[in-house]
Amino acid sequence: MSTVVGTRGEDRNDYTKAESRAIRQRSLRLLGSLLSPMRWLVILCGVVIVVSTALQVIGPTLIAYGINTALPMALKAEWMPAFGITIAYIVVGVLGALLMGWFVLLSAKLTQTILLELRTRIFRHTQRLSLEFHESYTSGRIISRQTSDLESIRELLDGGLTQLVSGVLFGIFTFISLCLLDWRSGAVLVVMGIPLAFLMRWFYGQSQKGFRSSRVVSARLIVQFVETMTGIRAVKAFRKERRNDAEFGEISSEYRRVNLRLVNLFGIFEPGLILLANVTMAVVLLWGAFRVVDGTLLIGSLLAAVMYIRNFFSPLQDVAMFLNSYQSATAALEKVSGVMEEEPSVPDPARPVDLWEARGHLEFDDVEFAYGAGKVILPDFSLDMPAGQTIALVGTTGAGKSTLAKLVSRFYDPTRGAVRLDGVDLRELHPKDLRRAIVMVTQEAYLFSGTVADNIALGKPDATLD
């Protein structure tokens, strides 16, 4: 048999708009199925972070009240407002910190629960998939789905999501508080929001392309390493070390180039963000200074406005770091959801037929078979093997000997015709009865972790040592 190993659809990075939309919907369905059983924990996390963020935003307003009202009264020996505002500031700070700590614990519990469920699903699903999938989907890419892709999703859920939620809420509450305190400073922030929106949109689009490429190259890097190590005997036998060095070096260099492009994006984005923040603060401070001189704005309110402008831009760097994690995790989730969408090409029967005692009568009835859309391997093949006989199939390489064994073991189903055991089509036979009646011993020797006895008893773990 000749198997061609190619790149499956989810390992491309040149999607059309329709394909990208379908992939996003597929990823959201997977994410929704993970979050649905924990909706109350999600709601509790949301309530806690909203209250915590609101308490954090109150600070500059309290400072403005202290300077504008409590300080002048303190100069007149009326200390109660100053003591009151001080106590209020401390209480708000402590409550905000406690709620933020609670949110971190809740989000950690949510994250680990999601990752446990997703990791288990991937393992169960890939075991359930047919041999055709595993022969066309290299082991390196499967390992990449279970390791580096899940790690990217973990990084997003662990820290990135917290940064996003707290950053967005902090920005919204800060803007509202700024407008309530001084709407003119809020208007300046709105005007500066136009170039900020263009900067964020540019960064989002470019980083999305970059991180998708990064996931593809990362998977290729893992594939190259795993295939080299698992096939080390062939590497040694054919003296392929130098070629492997060159191929691995080329992929590593490409991975480096992709990551450098992403670093360059941040090299433009973060200075641009700092520039916009400084310009906005300068305009608010200058305009506020004129109004303080005119007596239309109190000095405490100007200080609070400047603090709100600074606070508004500060979490945007956290949002940028979230976009870093988000793009990487989105690309990883696309790959994972692609595997989860795969269906077994050899499905279990809807109404299985039981065969408690198999005699061993095998029959190939006008069987035709081809691997995928490839060349037909078995054209119009018929063979009757009575029970109790030992039959040896002899033929040249590629004649179809292994293919017949795989059809008997039902690793594949015939394209046309039927394979029967004691008159029962294998496609209708109960999977447990099929595995009990038919055992395939391959020419490749593979030892699982454990003792030799564990490996010998692989098909019957409860067998005695005798």
243-267: pLDDT as tens digits: 888 888 898 998 898 888 888 888 8
Q: Is the pLDDT of residue 3 over 60?
A: no
CB 316 within 8 A of CB 100: no
Cβ-contact 89, 62 below 8 angstroms: yes
Query: pLDDT over 70 for what percent of the chain?
Result: 91
| pLDDT value for 7 | 41
Angle at 340 between CA 336 and CA 343, to 5 degrees: 145
Going from N- to C-terminal start, the domains of the chain cover 9-341, 362-456
Joined together, the tokens standing for residue 245 give 């060095």
CA distances to 35, 96, 343 from 352, in Å? 34, 60, 19
pLDDT of residue 15: 59
Distance CA 48, CA 116 (A): 24
Tokens for 177?
């508080």
CA separation, residue 357 to residues 286, 388, 399, 431, 436 (Å): 92, 14, 32, 14, 9
| Closest of 414, 422, 413, 408 to residue 354, by C-alpha | 422
Residue 376's H or E segment, with its range, is: strand 376-385
Q: What is the mean pLDDT of residues 104-124?
A: 86
Quickly tell me which residue has 């190590």 as its tokens. Answer: 229
**Pairwise pLDDT comparison (448 vs 54), residue with the higher score:** 54
Residue with tokens 């041999």: 131
Say which CATH class 9-341 falls into.
mainly alpha
pLDDT at 6 over 50: no
Residue 139 confidence (pLDDT): 64
The CATH fold assigned to 362-456 is Rossmann fold (3.40.50)
Per-residue confidence at 4, pLDDT binned at 50, 70, 90? very low
Residue 465, number of CB atoms within 10 A of its CB: 6
Instruction: Please give the Cα distance from 64 to 88 (Å, whole number).
Output: 13
What span, in angstroms and rounded, lies between the C-alpha atoms of 404 and 414?
A: 10
Per mean pLDDT, which range of 9-23, 204-218, 328-342 is the poorest?
A: 9-23
Query: What tens digit of pLDDT does each residue of 387-435 get?
Result: 888 888 888 877 788 888 888 888 888 988 999 988 888 998 888 888 8
- Per-residue confidence at 161, pLDDT binned at 50, 70, 90? low
Q: What is the pLDDT of residue 159?
A: 62
Query: What are the distances in angstroms from CA 411 to CA 60, 112, 131?
Result: 68, 35, 6
- For the record, the structure tokens of 164 come out as 């996003």
**Euclidean distance between CA atoms 65 and 415, whole angstroms:** 80
Residue closest to 306 by CA, chosen among 180, 183, 178, 196: 178
The pLDDT of residue 40 is above 80 = yes
Query: Which DSSP letter does residue 69 get?
Result: I
pLDDT value, residue 118: 86
- First and final C-alpha spacing in the chain: 38
Instruction: Please provide residue 364's backbone torsions phi and psi, each rounded to the nearest 5 degrees.
Output: -100, 115
pLDDT digits (tens, 9 = 90+) for 359-386: 888 898 888 888 877 788 888 888 888 8
Count CB neighbours of 215 within 10 A.
26
- What pLDDT score was predicted for residue 332? 78
Average pLDDT over residues 233-242: 83
**Is 323's pLDDT higher than 70?**
no
Residues 6 or more apart from 318 whose CB is under 8 A from it? 163, 164, 166, 167
User: In the predicted model, what is the mean pLDDT of the chain?
Assistant: 81
